Amino acid sequence: MKQPVAILLLLVYLFTGTTLQQLQRAPVLLEHYQEHKAMTPHISIAGFLSMHYLSGAVKDADYARDMQLPYKSADQVSAPGPVVFIPPVLTELTLREPQFSLGPFPIPNDVGNPVKVAGSIWQPPKHC
């Protein structure tokens, strides 16, 4: 019972942030990697992913093919995002330097001393 529920929850989690269209583009990613591997045999999968996802939008000879890769274009994005409120006017904060005193510290009255307060209301048990 736990395994089907876990699989269901995993699928719900994956498909709420990832559209099926992006998952359908996964074979294109592998094919495009094979194309790059044929042109430059020493390229690694990490180098390929870095070239296509971390280097920005480089318009080279295979730009149209690059745009077919998953998560390269923003068509039909359906991931919910947090709503962020940014105030239109930024207020200026002025910070004051803290002032330290090296003089004697005042000792408060012992009016609020809990021992004295508790002693005045506490009464020992009486023998009947």
Measure the CA–CA gap between 50 and 89, rounded to whole angstroms. 38
**For the chain, how many structural domains are there in total?**
1
Q: Region 83-103: what's the mean pLDDT?
A: 76
Measure the CA–CA gap between 19 and 116, rounded to whole angstroms. 69
User: Is 32 within a domain?
Assistant: yes
Residue 50 domain boundaries: 19-72
User: Is 90 within a domain?
Assistant: no
Measure the CA–CA gap between 113 and 76, rounded to whole angstroms. 67
Q: Integer distance in angstroms from the first to the last C-alpha of the chain?
A: 66
User: Is 110 within a domain?
Assistant: no
Measure the CA–CA gap between 4 and 109, rounded to whole angstroms. 68
3-state secondary structure the chain: CHHHHHHHHHHHHHHHHCCHHHHHCHHHHHHHHHHHHHHCCCCCHHHHHHHHHHCCCCCCCCHHHHCCCCCCCCCCCCCCCCCCCCCCCCCCCCCCCCCCCCCCCCCCCHHHCHHHHHHHHCCCCCCC
Report which of residues 121 and 66 the model is more confident about: 66
User: Is 64 within a domain?
Assistant: yes
Residue-level pLDDT at 59: 83
User: Is 105 within a domain?
Assistant: no
User: Is 58 within a domain?
Assistant: yes
Report which of residues 35 and 82 the model is more confident about: 35
Measure the CA–CA gap between 66 and 53, rounded to whole angstroms. 10
Highest mean pLDDT of the ranges 35-44, 66-75, 104-113: 35-44
User: Is 3 within a domain?
Assistant: no
pLDDT in tens, 5-47: 998 888 877 777 667 677 788 888 899 999 989 998 999 989 8
Q: Which residues contact 37 (CB under 8 A, 6 or more apart)?
A: 43, 48
User: Is 34 within a domain?
Assistant: yes
